[in-house]
Amino acid sequence: MSLSWIYTKDLKNFIGQKIIYKGWVWNKRSSGKIAFLQLRDGTGFVQGIAEKSTLGEDVFSDIKKIRNESSVIIEGEVQKDDRSPIGVEIIVKKIDILNQPEEDYPISNKEHGIDFLMENRHLWLRSRRQFHILAVRNEIIKAVREFYYNNNFTLIDTPIFTGSIGESAGNTFDIEYFDYGKVYLAQTGQLYLEAACMAHGKVFNLGPTFRAEKSKTRRHLIEFWMNEAEVAYYTHEDNMNLQENLISYIIEKVLERAKEHLIALDRDISKLEKIKAPFPRMTYTQAVEVLQKKGYSIEWGDDLGAEHETELASQYEKPLIVEKYPKNAKAFYMQPDPENPEVVLCDDMLAPEGYGEIIGASERIWEKEILLKRLEESKLPKEEYEWYLDLRKFGSVPHSGFGLGIERTVAWICGLNHIREAIPFARTLYRVYP
């Protein structure tokens, strides 16, 4: 009878049975008669026990020479083991070493500098901590998609090449596009989602976006993934409610499905358990007053910096929504507040524990004349926005939307010090390798 190939996550269901295991040896310890192989297969970690008495002199001597990150196929028996975090171990009966590295694996348990680890990101991905982080990222993205499908949104994939700058002209990647001339890598898919929401009502996207930002901070990537949503007829208020519900759903599902990864990352779960809608809200004007009282030298009209955001958010256990910023601190497309046209109907959501802005949002200008004026004030070329202006000519309606930064969300939920670990291959100011 041929044996079944079983993944680590399912081993507990095969106690006492013979199985095939396909994976890698990430570490090894051996004595005269017994070797402890630390195995992984992409679904978890398990210990393999190899004994000289069962395997014979020759095989056991090969096992003792196994280098870290050898790939192996094992025939073995699953045995209950109460000391193991997954409750089982594998008694090795036969082993096939597919690839024994010719040299020692460069990443070991000792401390490595971050430059070395980033240079070896293609291998660093295999380390336990990195494995857990990207497993959480996977669950976050799954929850994001689910949230929209559960709420009757339609996925609209927005383009990467665009002639219409979506945010600000200062940090675009410019590309010569055949005879067309200069185009940009998308900073956002928002403008296209605005078009699509007039066809489908509730729409979302999820994809990479690009900002040639010269900022070398813990929160900035050059290429980052954003989830954006846009809804026809939604007001600023509806928009904020939607954001709260999305974040609450993500946290609920991650706690349900990825708790073991968060525990492995030493994340304080009790802090995440408190993240349930509704979230605290304050206006930008109130935020400036709070900061001034705390001694910050900030004037009404200044944008909030990272240190301001951290200070404001540190007063709450849940994400803080700051709304109604001055129009000059924000993008051209935001709808002025009818009660005070100096501010716009926008909000930023600031994550707790110093993780900064995870969401940028607003109601959009839906009247053509106001939009034209804002394009002019922002020195953006009207010709590139003819199609966008059409949306205000043909059945325009109030509409609102937002963008959620995936890596900042991953960094917050996993409790990471730096955003570069929140994405498989980070593109930062000084790094595009590997």
Can you tell me which of 188, 227, 335, 396 binds ligand 4AD, judged by CB under 6 A? 188
DSSP assignment, residue 170? G
Nearer to ligand 4AD, 76 or 405 (CB): 405
Q: Which residue has the tokens 């995440």?
A: 272
Asked if residues 298 and 288 have their Cβ atoms less than 8 Å apart, the reply is yes
Amino acid residing at 5: W
Other C-beta atoms lying within 10 Å of the C-beta of residue 14? 15
Least CB distance from residue 229 to ligand 4AD, whole Å? 7
Could you tell me the sign of the dihedral formed by the alpha carbons of 334, 337, 340, 343, in that order?
negative
CA atoms within 13 A on the CB side of 104: 6
Say whether residue 359 binds ligand 4AD (CB under 6 A).
Answer: yes
Say whether residue 167 binds ligand 4AD (CB under 6 A).
Answer: yes
**Cα angle 197, 202, 206; round to 5:** 90
Judged by CB under 6 A, which stretch of 154-162, 337-345, 386-394, 405-413 contacts ligand 4AD? Answer: 405-413
Least CB distance from residue 278 to ligand 4AD, whole Å? 20
Amino acid residing at 251: I
Judged by CB under 6 A, which stretch of 102-110, 117-125, 224-232, 265-273 contacts ligand 4AD? Answer: 224-232
Alpha carbons 360 and 409: distance in angstroms, whole number: 13
Can you tell me which of 50, 358, 365, 410 binds ligand 4AD, judged by CB under 6 A? 358
Can you tell me which of 401, 413, 421, 428 binds ligand 4AD, judged by CB under 6 A? 401
Alpha carbons 48 and 76: distance in angstroms, whole number: 9
Nearer to ligand 4AD, 60 or 332 (CB): 332
Say whether residue 360 binds ligand 4AD (CB under 6 A).
Answer: yes
Among the residues of 43-109, which ranges form H helices? 52-55, 57-65
Least CB distance from residue 361 to ligand 4AD, whole Å? 5
Nearer to ligand 4AD, 188 or 335 (CB): 188
Among the residues of 151-283, which ranges form H helices? 190-200, 236-257, 259-264, 269-273
Asked if residues 314 and 296 have their Cβ atoms less than 8 Å apart, the reply is no
Nearer to ligand 4AD, 19 or 196 (CB): 196
Say whether residue 194 binds ligand 4AD (CB under 6 A).
Answer: no
Can you tell me which of 48, 352, 398, 403 binds ligand 4AD, judged by CB under 6 A? 403
Say whether residue 407 binds ligand 4AD (CB under 6 A).
Answer: yes
Judged by CB under 6 A, which stretch of 9-17, 109-117, 217-225, 265-273 contacts ligand 4AD? Answer: 217-225
Least CB distance from residue 66 to ligand 4AD, whole Å? 40
Asked if residues 213 and 222 have their Cβ atoms less than 8 Å apart, the reply is yes
CA distances to 55, 147, 185 from 142, rounded to whole Å, are 43, 9, 25
Asked if residues 182 and 175 have their Cβ atoms less than 8 Å apart, the reply is yes
Nearer to ligand 4AD, 211 or 267 (CB): 211
Least CB distance from residue 221 to ligand 4AD, whole Å? 4
Return residues touching ligand 4AD (CB under 6 A): 166-167, 188, 190, 211, 213, 220-221, 224, 226, 228, 357-361, 401-403, 405, 407-408
